[in-house]
Structure 1
Amino acid sequence: MAQASETDSLAFAIASFVCGLFLLERGADSFVDSTAIVAKRLGVSPTLVGLLTCGAEWEELVVIVVALGQGQHSMALGNLMGSSIANVLGSFSLGLLFAQKMMVFDRSSKIYSTALLGLVSVFLLVLYAVPADAKRMAGIGLVVAFVVHVTSVTWLISKGILTAPEDDSDSDSDSDSDSHSDPGSDSESGPTEQDFDLDWDGDDHKEKDVTRSEPEIQDPSRSFGEWDEDGRALLSASVKSSGERRKTGVKPHKPLWKQVLKLMFGFGSLVLSGYVLAQSARVIGNQLGLSGTVTGTTILSLATTLPEKFVAVLAGSRHQQGILVANTVGSNIFLVTLCGGVLFIWGGDGDVDETKAMFSLSEALVMWVSAAMLFLVVIIGGRRWMGLVLLCGYVGFLCLEFL
C-alpha cells in the first residue's frame, strides 16, 4: 500500500510538473508579448524592449525566486548553474548541428560572447571567493551590472557599433495582430506577403474605378455587359478580393488597459507555474532519491530551457547565427547577473555558502568551460562537429550528475 501511494505521489508530481511547464511557457509568452506591446504604445525604445524580451529568462527568475521563498536554496542555485550549462551545451550545440554550412559570426556576436565569459567568471568568483557577509553587496553589484549591460548595449546599438538582438519568440499571440493594426508598425516590421497582395489589389481596383467613364458609373450593368472577357474576370476578382478583405480584415488593436490586464495575467501565470514547478520538482527529486542540487541542475534546468533549444534548432537550420548567439548569450547574461544577484541578495546571510558546499567544483568548472567554449566557437567559426562535441559533453555532464 505504501509503495502504491509513493507511485501515485510520483505520478501526480510528474503530471503537475508537465502542466506547470506548459503554464510557465504560456505565461512567459503572454508576459513578454504584452510587455513589448505596452512599451511600444508608451513610446519606449524598441531596442530596449528587444533586449529585455529576447533571451531574457524571466521564467527562470520566477522559478529561482519561488525556490528561494520555499527555502530551497540548493535547487535555486542548481537551476541557475544547470540552465547556464544547458543553454550552451544543450541548446547552442543543437544550432550548430542543424546548420547546413559553417557559421561565421559577426563582431556583435564576438562582443556578446566575450562579455558573457567575463560575467560568468565574476559570478563564480563571487560564489566561491567572496565572504558570506559581503555576498549581499556583491549581489547588488550583479543587479547593477545587469542594468549597466542593458543600458550600454542599448547605447552601442544606437551608435551602430552592435547589432540589435532579434525577437526569438515563437508564440502565436496577439502581438502579431497588434503590430499589423498599429499604424506605426509597418515601418518597423514591414508588410507581409498578404499585406502586399491586398495593397496591390486595392491600388489596382482604385485605378480601374478612376478610369471608368461617367456612363459606366451611372449604369454599371450596361458597362459590365460591354466589357470583354478580361474585364469581367477583373471585376470578378475584385468582388472576391473585397470579400476576402472583409473576412480577413485587420482588426483594430486592443485598448491599452486590455494589454496591461494581459500583462498582469501573464505575470500571475509565471508566479503560479513557478510555484508548481518548484514544488513538483522537489517531490520528484525526493521520490527518486535525488538531492535538491541534482534536481535543479538536471530535471528543472533541462525542462525550463526547452524553448531555447527549439529556437536554437530553427536558428541553426535557417543559418541565423545572430539569433543563435543572442538566444544563448542573452539568456546566460540574464542568469548570471539579474538571477545571480537576486540569489546572493536573498541568501546573503550565509544560506548561499551552505548551499555552495553541496556543489562540487565540477559544476562550476563545467559552467565556466561552457562559456569559454562558446567564446571560442564564436571567434573561430561554428562547425557541425563542434556542436556534436558540445552535445556529447552535455550528455556526459547529466550522467555524472545522476551518478
Structure 2
Amino acid sequence: MANPDIVAFNIATFISTFFLLEFASDKFVDHTAVVASRVGVSQAVIALLTAGAEWEELGVVVASLSRSRSSLAFGNIIGSAISNILGAFSLGLIAHSNEYQVTFDKSSRIYSLNLLLLTTVVTAVIYFAPEDAWTIFGGLLLAVFTIYTLSIVWAISRGNLTAPEDSDKDSESETSNEESPNPIADNNALDANQPLLQSDEEHASYGTPTRSPIASRGPRHSLLYHIAYLIFGFLAISLAAYVISHAATNITNQFQVSDFLFGVVLLAIATTLPEKFIAVLSGHRGHMGILVANTAGSNIFLLSLCLGIIMVGTNGHLDADSVNVAELAILWGSTLLFTVTVFVGGIWSRWIGIAMLILYFSFLVLEFVLIRRV
C-alpha cells in the first residue's frame, strides 16, 4: 500500500525540481550562446548545438544510470522520442495559422530523412542485436552523434543549410538584453530586411555604433559573468536531474509501477513540455522550419547521444523492464509519418496533426491497459 505522505512529498519534489531543471537549461543555453559570441564562435553553430539538445533528458539519463535505474532512463528516451513527434510536432501543425502557408524547405527534408534513417537503425539494433553487443552499438551511436554535429557545422559554414533555432529558448532574447541595442541608424545604410535594432557585434560590420539614451540603460556584462552563469546552469542541471530521478524512483516504488512505464509515459511528458510549447508558437507563427528542426534535432540527440550512453553504460543488461516490439513499432511509425508530412505538407497538415495527437493519446492509454497492463 502506497504511503500518502511519501507519494505527496515526492510528487511535490518532482514538480518543483522540474521548474529548476527548465530554468537551469535556459541559463546554460543562453549564456553559452553569449560566451560563444564574445569569443568569436559562430552563433549558427551554437544555435545548432542547442537546437533540440535535450540537456534535461541527458541529465536524467546520467542520474538514473548512476542510481542503477537504467530502465527508467531507457523508457524516458523512447517515450520522449515518441512524444516529440506525436505530442509536440502534432501540436505545431494544429496550431498553424491560416495566415501562413505550410511549406517545408530543403533543410527540413534533410533533417527528417536523417532522423528516419537513424530511427530505423536504432529500432533494428534494439530488437535484433544481442545484449552483449550493445556496448559496440552504443559506441557507434556516440560516433554518429559526433559525425552528425560536425557535418551540420560544415554544412552551415558552406551555407548549404539553415541552422535551427534554440528549442528551449531563443538565445536572441539574451543577446538583445546583454548587448546594448542601437535604435539610431543611417537610413541609407539599411535595406528593407535589416532590423532597426542592432547589437554591438552587428554594428561592427556597418561602422561605428552610435549610442542613444535607451542603449545606455543596458549594461554590458563581462565575459566572466557569462561563464559563471554557464557553469551555474550546468551544475543546476546536474542537481535537478539527480533529484528528479530520485523522486521518480520513489514514486514508482510506492505504486509498484515499472520504471520503464513511468519513464515512457509520465517522465517523458514532463521533460518534453518545452518542446510542446515551442512547437505551438512555431506552428502558429508559420515558422515550420523551426518546428521541424526542433523535432528532428531533439530525437537525433536522444537516439544517438543519450541512447548511446545507455547502451555503453549498461551493455544491454537493464535493471528491470525493457522496450517491446509494440513501442518500437510506434516509434518507427511515428517517425515515418513525420518524414512523410515534411515532404507532403500542404493543406492536409492540420488534419495530420490531429491524427498524430489522437495516436499519441491512444498510445498512452494502450501503455497502461494493454502493452504494460498496469
Tell me which moved more, 39-48 or 300-309. Answer: 39-48
Matched, 1:345 2:312: yes
For 2:365, the equivalent position in structure 1 comes to 399
Question: Secondary structure in 2 aligned to 1:254?
Answer: coil
In structure 1, distance between residues paired with 2:95 and 2:304: 30
Which of 335, 353, 360 matches 1:387? 353
In structure 2, distance between residues paired with 1:50 and 1:334: 14
Q: Please say if residues 34 and 174 of structure 2, whose CA atoms lie closer than 8 Å, have aligned partners that are also in contact.
A: no
Q: Please say if residues 86 and 302 of structure 1, whose CA atoms lie closer than 8 Å, have aligned partners that are also in contact.
A: yes
Which of 69, 75, 80 matches 1:78? 75
In structure 2, distance between residues paired with 1:377 and 1:392: 16
Which of 303, 316, 323 matches 1:359? 323
Letter in 2 for 1:398: L
Q: Please say if residues 72 and 292 of structure 1, whose CA atoms lie closer than 8 Å, have aligned partners that are also in contact.
A: yes
Deviation at 1:351, TM superposition (A): 1.6
For 1:139, the equivalent position in structure 2 comes to 138
Q: Alpha-carbon deviations, 1:226-275, whole Å to 9, x = none?
A: xxxxxxxxxxxxxxxx9xx6466343321111111111110111011101
Which of 23, 27, 32 matches 1:26? 23
Q: Please say if residues 88 and 275 of structure 2, whose CA atoms lie closer than 8 Å, have aligned partners that are also in contact.
A: yes
CA change 1:133–1:289 in 2 (3 A) is closer
For 1:210, the equivalent position in structure 2 comes to none
Letter in 2 for 1:93: S
For 2:341, the equivalent position in structure 1 comes to 377
Where in structure 2 are the equivalents of 1:290-369 lying within 5 Å?
Answer: 290-348=257-315, 350-352=316-318, 355=320, 358-369=322-333
For 1:177, the equivalent position in structure 2 comes to 177
Larger radius of gyration: 1
Q: Which runs of 5+ in 1 are unaligned?
A: 200-205, 207-241
Letter in 1 for 2:342: V
Q: How many residues align?
A: 346
Q: Which has the higher helix share?
A: 1
Q: Please say if residues 168 and 275 of structure 2, whose CA atoms lie closer than 8 Å, have aligned partners that are also in contact.
A: no
Question: Secondary structure in 1 aligned to 2:169?
Answer: coil
For 2:206, the equivalent position in structure 1 comes to none
Deviation at 1:38, TM superposition (A): 1.3
Q: Alpha-carbon deviations, 1:73-99, whole Å to 9, x = none?
A: 111000000000000000000001011
Q: Alpha-carbon deviations, 1:299-320, whole Å to 9, x = none?
A: 1000000000000000111011
Q: Please say if residues 52 and 168 of structure 2, whose CA atoms lie closer than 8 Å, have aligned partners that are also in contact.
A: no
Deviation at 1:171, TM superposition (A): 6.6
Q: Please say if residues 38 and 259 of structure 1, whose CA atoms lie closer than 8 Å, have aligned partners that are also in contact.
A: yes
Deviation at 1:113, TM superposition (A): 0.2
Q: Please say if residues 281 and 299 of structure 1, whose CA atoms lie closer than 8 Å, have aligned partners that are also in contact.
A: no
CA change 1:147–1:317 in 2 (3 A) is same
Where in structure 2 are the equivalents of 1:4-403 lying within 5 Å?
Answer: 6-101=3-98, 103-170=102-169, 174-180=174-180, 191=195, 246=213, 249-348=216-315, 350-352=316-318, 355=320, 358-381=322-345, 383-403=349-369
In structure 2, distance between residues paired with 1:65 and 1:190: 44
Deviation at 1:194, TM superposition (A): 9.7
In structure 1, distance between residues paired with 2:301 and 2:25: 15
Q: Which runs of 5+ in 2 are unaligned?
A: 183-189, 204-209, 370-374
Deviation at 1:175, TM superposition (A): 3.8
RMSD of aligned alpha carbons: 2.5
Question: Secondary structure in 1 aligned to 2:29?
Answer: helix
Q: Please say if residues 181 and 215 of structure 2, whose CA atoms lie closer than 8 Å, have aligned partners that are also in contact.
A: no
Deviation at 1:176, TM superposition (A): 3.1
In structure 1, distance between residues paired with 2:62 and 2:350: 37
Q: Please say if residues 29 and 171 of structure 1, whose CA atoms lie closer than 8 Å, have aligned partners that are also in contact.
A: no
Q: Please say if residues 165 and 290 of structure 2, whose CA atoms lie closer than 8 Å, have aligned partners that are also in contact.
A: yes
Give the alignment's TM-score, normalised by structure 1. 0.80
Question: Secondary structure in 2 aligned to 1:249?
Answer: helix
Q: Please say if residues 53 and 167 of structure 2, whose CA atoms lie closer than 8 Å, have aligned partners that are also in contact.
A: no
In structure 2, distance between residues paired with 1:180 and 1:366: 48
Deviation at 1:181, TM superposition (A): 6.2
Letter in 1 for 2:57: E
Q: Please say if residues 127 and 325 of structure 2, whose CA atoms lie closer than 8 Å, have aligned partners that are also in contact.
A: no
CA change 1:339–1:179 in 2 (3 A) is farther
Letter in 1 for 2:76: N
In structure 1, distance between residues paired with 2:322 and 2:43: 42
CA change 1:190–1:79 in 2 (3 A) is farther
In structure 1, distance between residues paired with 2:260 and 2:168: 30
CA change 1:161–1:58 in 2 (3 A) is same
Letter in 1 for 2:350: R
Question: Secondary structure in 1 aligned to 2:216?
Answer: coil
